[in-house]
Amino acid sequence: MPKRVLIQLDGDPQPSTFDAVVAVDAGADVLLRHGGVTAENVMPLVHGAMFTRGGSALASSAIFVGGSDVAAAEAVATRVAATFFGPVRVGVLVDPSGANTTAAAAVVSVGRHVDLSPAVSAVVLGGTGPVGQRVARLLAGKGVRVMVASRSRERAEAVCDRVRERTVAASLTAVAAPGSFEPASEFAAAVASADVIVAAGAAGVTLLDPAGRAAAGRARVLVDLNAVPPSGIFGVASADKARVDGAALCYGPLGVGGLKMKIHRAAIERIFTDPQSFLDAEELLAIGESMG
């Protein structure tokens, strides 16, 4: 059995040690870590993966695309996919900043309690960041009516447009969410009408304060992905995992984080067993859903 070689392609000058450790724990025997990878310079690195091993041994090589600049990583991933031809390809996992695995874990957590369908409405707070955009995309892909909240309506509209480019039938609405919660605002109406609320705001920022939480009377699931105090949703604790709070079930960042790590490890295993695999947010969601 050839050694499992994972080629880590990271846009940052120093490739992520987090991604490296997870890769080793998930079964990579050898890790080749490359920093400063761009769509312009990635092709020779991909050729190195494609042309070194023949036959079934090729499946023991795989690629991980990461980095803190999510848009740049997506450009790298697109170039990686375009470099392959015919059967000469290796498995690829795309997870810049952990955004895809985190969003997938958040949506799987929601889906454990709510039948994701057009009958459901969701607000994604901080919906313009890497994680929030993917949460919006994954929920909309399930038919959920998604409200993307941002301090800037224009940024929220841009996210809605990007998701619609992928999923034409997606139902998305941009919602302006100013810093403080105003009871008569558009934001308050969105929060009051939502079956699901996912907070994907920046670390240490509260996006739903006590008044906002009190207004979320219809919510059945609240997910807060912010691990840095104070919490993103008032009253949701970091370790919450389906904790009952009134009519809602609450998930905190640690409550979601365990599943995120499981999805990440399973994805590494998948790219070493299926060289055809190209694992982006939707495929990671499917892996998470298959975990029950």
Among 67, 91, 126, 255, binds ligand NAP (CB under 6 A): 126
Pick the closer one to ligand NAP by CB: 131 or 163. 131
User: Using CA atoms, how far apart are residues 287 and 292, in angstroms rounded to an integer?
Assistant: 10
Residue 97 binds ligand NAP (CB under 6 A):
yes
Residue 21 identity? V
Among 26, 120, 146, 200, binds ligand NAP (CB under 6 A): 200
The encoded tokens of residue 253 equal 């960042």
The 3-state DSSP class for residue 249 equals strand
Among 46, 131, 221, 279, binds ligand NAP (CB under 6 A): 131
Task: Give the ranges where 26-152 is alpha helix by DSSP (H).
Answer: 43-50, 70-83, 99-111, 130-141
Report the residue number whose CB is nearest to ligand NAP: 129
User: Which DSSP state fits 202?
Assistant: P
Residue 202 binds ligand NAP (CB under 6 A):
yes
Pick the closer one to ligand NAP by CB: 82 or 203. 203
The residues near 229 (Cβ < 8 Å, ≥ 6 apart) are 204
Question: How far is C-alpha 244 from the geometric centre of its chain's CA atoms?
Answer: 25
Residue 288 binds ligand NAP (CB under 6 A):
no
- Rounded least distance, CB 126 to ligand NAP, Å: 3
User: Using CA atoms, how far apart are residues 179 and 189, in angstroms rounded to an integer?
Assistant: 15
- Rounded least distance, CB 238 to ligand NAP, Å: 9
Q: Using CB under 6 A, which of the segments 4-12, 83-91, 111-119, 222-230 binds ligand NAP?
A: 222-230
User: Using CA atoms, how far apart are residues 116 and 80, in angstroms rounded to an integer?
Assistant: 32
User: Using CA atoms, how far apart are residues 173 and 218, in angstroms rounded to an integer?
Assistant: 18
Q: Which residue is it, tokens 């920046």?
A: 202
Residue 96 binds ligand NAP (CB under 6 A):
no
- Rounded least distance, CB 196 to ligand NAP, Å: 16
Among 45, 92, 223, 225, binds ligand NAP (CB under 6 A): 225
Q: Are 229 and 254 in contact (CB under 8 A)?
A: no
Among 257, 263, 270, 275, binds ligand NAP (CB under 6 A): 257
The 3-state DSSP class for residue 183 equals coil
Q: Look at the chain and count its residues.
A: 292
- Rounded least distance, CB 53 to ligand NAP, Å: 33
Residue 132 binds ligand NAP (CB under 6 A):
yes
Q: Which residues bind ligand NAP (CB under 6 A)?
A: 97-98, 102, 126, 128-132, 150-152, 155, 200-203, 205, 225-227, 253, 256-257, 260
